[in-house]
Structure 1
């Protein structure tokens, strides 16, 4: 086809080639196998070290020469730096073998009615630089063939880096907005993407270190979908500002998802289609170590098929299902976690809270250590109190530090297996309905440190085991104690141990701290009602262990 040129700048600047990645010898079950054994304690550095290194390309644009085109296909077949400007009705194709190519977008509008606006079909490494002060627009065809390899407004079969200080507006009319079939790295610029399906997709890796990114997508917002390599399929957000409105998942990683900086805002699940609608999702491990993250999701706000480690990020989560869900293990040891709306607040087979500040509002269980195991460990409830004969599953809730505050309409602090509190502060504002309890543990429930305040209904009241190393008391009131009532706990000599102000109407209080001595009598005063309670003794019909309700 005859080519007419309006604005493509050719430079003699050559970029060093990149080393090709070895072929994978794993299978598509790699991600699911890794999820079952992943270490929840690993931090962002450890996750990155285990993945392939997605290096950003050099963004030098010096020494440019200009070649122009008005319509048709512009093919770039040699290494160099090319400046695109003006209007191109057609397509820019990079078919450069193993050569490195830089595209400098400088107030260019590229519109294709047949395929991608920019299609990198062969190159060593490609850099797209957004010129300072420029606004650039890419629009592709309204539909692609089912088996089309090139299927995004900006498509690259090679490693792709996008940076600079200008603006890039992408209209993915037929499928994805931006797709990188290897590694995709964004280092800067203002990038606005609307897409029929996924907004920005890096198959092996999607890394964001800077820039202001806005995505509106019918499918997933940001995604990396290679689930066949243990060191690929990951999303790594290190900085910048990311705003996502997605019909499917907000951010989806086939393997690992890491956030260490920047601001991430997600609204996920706007589609009516039968698709995953989670806020942040990983196939193996999610580590949220820094940055500010706000999620509104139709399904789980944060989800992993393996493990979730909340390690310093500031999270505000609103979920139609779970606030945070991990199939195998969930660890909170730093940062802030505010679940403002959820069905269940945090859920995993194994939950550990050792630090941070966590608040949960849930319409069902607040914290729920449970899972999909088909065979539970045989055994009945151990220790004093009610005892429900519930099976004890292979689940555990452990609190060693931090602050955990729960406002639940279902069970507040719930384990379908065992539970242990050794430190930290746990405050449970439990249910008003008698079919649930502020505390609910099927197996052994011990406390040896920290402070526990749990209030709620009395019909399913539960307390720690009588042989716990730290003393506790459980008081069931003759009537309902109104919300806003100050409940005072005093020792025999009149010393005030604690004052608890109710946030709901309650019938039962469980309290434990280093100030409570088992076997010692205390006075509990709620309004004009005063009663004597012996520490370590559950009231009639309550205490001991929960019923395992979910």
Structure 2
């Protein structure tokens, strides 16, 4: 979250450089974009006939009847039975039924034919190793016979002949390709480590699968591909994951359908490479879910660690016991150790693309996250997050669908965000939509604070960290950081900045409604470069201390009204022309002292009247009323629109403060009402940047603001400003760091 007295020089961007996107309707956009995702999956995943094929009875099957520690089967079959391990040696169809006590079904095929294990009402338990272990096979298929329940379980400790071995590490384990299909039920209790693992490709095309695992639920090294099925996972680690980090073409997850109910201590679904979702129904709780309340962490370090076990050493799993026999490994010893626990809902290292489906995600970390790019082209997402609702380190594109972020620290975040369609609702305890975060962090920035007040972050207190923070700030506040709105319907309810860009904002079409913040340390609109309005409807209401309007070069007209007193939430704002035509009628959700309106219906050299209060008999959506039937309001100001951006207060038109980079003015580039053309708070204004220094006496406050202004104008350097502030017992604000 940026503070307006932190200077960030951004290069002005021309709207002509931005690629427009037509709005041809939700259905066409969603279907077209989802087809792109489906085509991507089709190219990446190949399903063979036997991945779905279930008519095994005509394939000369071998029947295996399990009875405690004994097994009955045709003695001519290529099957070995020794010390409780039943080993299948050649390809073919093997039908398993009955109960196998403390034993293992192993596949060690000596030919290149597919091995099909038909689970026909079976219970297999192994207290010292995997219950099903595919040692070698061209391909193994586990078919779940219709109307059967099949139970698989392992023990808490594995005994290995080789003490250096870490495989198998799952109740169902395969070193080669594994497919699960059918319509029966599979219940897996993974007491040692993981539930179902393939070291190559893992495909699921049907069945009801329930997994209870100490660590990860379903894991495929090269690929996890699911077309159908009902999957329920309770995992101490990740719910579904891929792990190949050596080959950039592998490590993907492709989900084309199915229902998912995942409760994970770490990530819900995590792809080492890309995660593509074309359809499906998803309910995901990760890291215990989002906290009941999310406080603004602006002035405090982020308490990340082990989400599943707060306060634990993030490098150590709970209950880990190193004092074990070297050949006997406990469930915790085999779990991967990481520097910090990740507890995201959907996560990818490369591309994360959603084309359809329904999602209910409750995560302690980001709900939707990519270390690279995110594309949302369709689907319905309901999100409650302890951190970001949707986050991409590099680029985020929203082309359709419905996104409802009911709870978040920051709602939507990326270095570049392009919204061309869709319905988006965001509630955030900090910034609603943030551009410039990158690397999973928006970069907290703290206000000037007395050196020893205990509130400054460690980055601020340490000069070396401070220099790094300033360098990182310069890098992120670049011309690459853009929020582009080409369509869609967007509402933002923010305690921090509403639309926040460590760069520039351009809007060509769509509807945007911003409520908040109420604190004067933030603004409804916050940008470093420019806010270019060339189309669409934007209304932003909130505090006035850091208020900004559109840039002067905007081709669409707008106005910014600042009130001398705070207006109560629900007090209607009505704007109409002298002929009685309505431009907008809006009921803000929060208290407010500023209102920004940009509409294609605003024309120059036309007189308008702004009203306050009153009522409307029309219905409203998110506080925005349909045109007409407004009555009973009080006229606040009458004016004639003469500039692309008109600044107002109760007395009428005020002088534009658009003097800084990108057309914004005021302290550190803030546009807003003020005196002397510098946007300083008026004596009758409630709030303003001065409120940030409420604990300072008037003389010190004036000196601080003077130093800020000198640094902004370039008459002194950043280092000189720091020295002058240090003499006053103040620190220059730095950019905090988030993981």
TM-score, length basis structure 2: 0.65
Question: 5+ unaligned residues in a row in structure 1: which ranges?
Answer: 1-40, 379-389
Structure 2 counterparts to residues 85-484 of structure 1, below 5 A: 85-89=97-101, 90-97=103-110, 98-144=112-158, 147-270=165-288, 271-272=308-309, 274-372=340-438, 374=471, 392=478, 394-484=480-570
Alpha-carbon distance between aligned partners in 2 of 1:202 and 1:450, rounded to the nearest angstrom? 45
Map of 1:496 onto structure 2: 582
Equivalent residues of 1:186, 1:207 under 8 A apart = yes
Instruction: Pick which of 405-414 and 517-526 moved more.
Output: 517-526
Q: Larger strand proportion, structure 1 or 2? A: 1
1:192 Cα offset (Å): 0.4
Map of 1:18 onto structure 2: none
Aligned length: 499
1:549 Cα offset (Å): 9.1
1:307 Cα offset (Å): 0.4
1:408 Cα offset (Å): 0.4
| Residue aligned with 2:594, SS | strand
Deviations 1:369-408 (A, max 9, x none): 0135946669xxxxxxxxxxx9655310000001111000
Q: Does 1:45 align with 2:38?
A: yes
Equivalent residues of 1:267, 1:279 under 8 A apart = yes
Alpha-carbon distance between aligned partners in 1 of 2:284 and 2:63, rounded to the nearest angstrom? 41
Question: 5+ unaligned residues in a row in structure 2: which ranges?
Answer: 1-32, 70-83, 289-307, 315-339, 440-470, 614-633, 649-653, 671-733
Deviations 1:265-319 (A, max 9, x none): 1000131254111000001001110110111000000000010000111101110
Equivalent residues of 2:543, 2:594 under 8 A apart = yes
1:495 Cα offset (Å): 2.2
| Residue aligned with 1:537, SS | strand
1:127 Cα offset (Å): 0.9
Map of 1:530 onto structure 2: 636
Alpha-carbon distance between aligned partners in 1 of 2:529 and 2:186, rounded to the nearest angstrom? 56
Equivalent residues of 1:481, 1:505 under 8 A apart = yes
Structure 2 CA distance for partners of 1:533 and 1:417, relative to 1, 3 Å: farther
Alpha-carbon distance between aligned partners in 1 of 2:137 and 2:567, rounded to the nearest angstrom? 72
Map of 2:86 onto structure 1: 74
Equivalent residues of 1:52, 1:231 under 8 A apart = no
1:46 Cα offset (Å): 5.0
| Residue aligned with 2:357, SS | strand
Structure 2 counterparts to residues 55-70 of structure 1, below 5 A: 55=48, 57=51, 58-62=53-57, 63-69=60-66, 70=68
1:68 Cα offset (Å): 3.2
Alpha-carbon distance between aligned partners in 1 of 2:404 and 2:555, rounded to the nearest angstrom? 31
Alpha-carbon distance between aligned partners in 1 of 2:434 and 2:483, rounded to the nearest angstrom? 8
Structure 2 CA distance for partners of 1:377 and 1:532, relative to 1, 3 Å: farther
1:328 Cα offset (Å): 0.3
Map of 1:507 onto structure 2: 593
Equivalent residues of 1:54, 1:183 under 8 A apart = no
1:231 Cα offset (Å): 2.0
Equivalent residues of 1:414, 1:441 under 8 A apart = yes
Map of 2:623 onto structure 1: none
Deviations 1:205-258 (A, max 9, x none): 111111111000010000011122222111111111111000000000011111
Alpha-carbon distance between aligned partners in 2 of 1:456 and 1:94, rounded to the nearest angstrom? 66
1:518 Cα offset (Å): 3.9
Equivalent residues of 2:436, 2:477 under 8 A apart = no
Cα RMSD (Å): 2.2
| Residue aligned with 2:487, SS | strand
Instruction: Pick which of 145-154 and 393-402 moved more.
Output: 145-154
Alpha-carbon distance between aligned partners in 2 of 1:61 and 1:290, rounded to the nearest angstrom? 34
